[in-house]
Chains A and B, each alone.
Chain A
Amino acid sequence: DAGITQSPRHKVTETGTPVTLRCHQTENHRYMYWYRQDPGHGLRLIHYSYGVKDTDKGEVSDGYSVSRSKTEDFLLTLESATSSQTSVYFCAISEAGQGSGSEQFFGPGTRLTVL
């Protein structure tokens, strides 16, 4: 299995509070991604990174920010959590970009509940 971990694995928070999710990889892959998965929507890309300090927006980036200060860590921050951000969040890594045939390896997921 690819060395990719997420923390925390579960979190319950209140509306309006900031939340940071962490993704850590030991594979030295260049590309890292944050997705959310909701019933009826499948996996939707929030933000991605193509290198240290290089990030870009995905399909559903509003209300989220990211940072990547080291190759191995990719942080997702919900600046002011809302109930609509209740979801399962997956981090993924790949050697090459999304348009390539490079397989994405997924972390175990973080279940976030915003009350």
Chain B
Amino acid sequence: GQNIDQPTEMTATEGAIVQINCTYQTSGFNGLFWYQQHAGEAPTFLSYNVLDGLEEKGRFSSFLSRSKGYSYLLLKELQMKDSASYLCAVTGGSGNTGKLIFGQGTTLQVKP
């Protein structure tokens, strides 16, 4: 079966660091995406991890452990505009039969 788990909601303070976790169990795994979605808007790409380890991109970093079926998104120096939902999505398979499965998303509220 396919299962992706993320916390439903998180709250953090402006200027702080927050870690959003994602665990997955899927049949076949190629890589893991993180998308950001502001309320009422479309999801936008943040990162894609294939190999184990941490990838840093400005204030955002994403970590993957394939053996543990675990990823996290790390947001540093939080800003009010980071209030959004963060979607974890796992890819598997290949070609036209490949799959992309989304988790339910984590809604992050950044407070002053």
Contacts and interface: CB of A to CB of B under 8 A. Distances in A.
- Indicate whether A and B interact: yes
Interface of A: 40-45, 50, 54, 56, 90, 97-101, 103-109
Interface string B25-67: 0001011010000000111110010100000000000000000
B98 A97 contact: yes
Contacts of B31: 101
Contact of B94 (A56, A97, A105): A97
Contacts of A104: 45, 100
B42 A99 contact: no
B87 A43 contact: yes
Given A41-B104, A42-B87, A100-B98, 8 more contacts: A42-B104, A43-B89, A44-B102, A97-B97, A100-B94, A101-B48, A104-B100, A106-B44
Contact of B99 (A50, A99, A105): A99
A98 B102 contact: no
Given A106-B43, A108-B41, A99 B91 contact: yes
A99 B93 contact: yes
A58 to B, nearest CB: 9
B41 A43 contact: no
A68 to B, nearest CB: 13
B21 to A, nearest CB: 16
Contacts of B97: 97, 99
Nearest to B46: A103
28 contacts: A40-B104, A42-B103, A42-B105, A43-B43, A43-B89, A44-B102, A45-B100, A56-B96, A90-B43, A97-B94, A97-B97, A98-B93, A98-B98, A98-B100, A99-B28, A99-B30, A99-B94, A99-B97, A99-B98, A99-B99, A100-B30, A100-B94, A100-B98, A103-B33, A103-B45, A106-B42, A106-B44, A107-B42
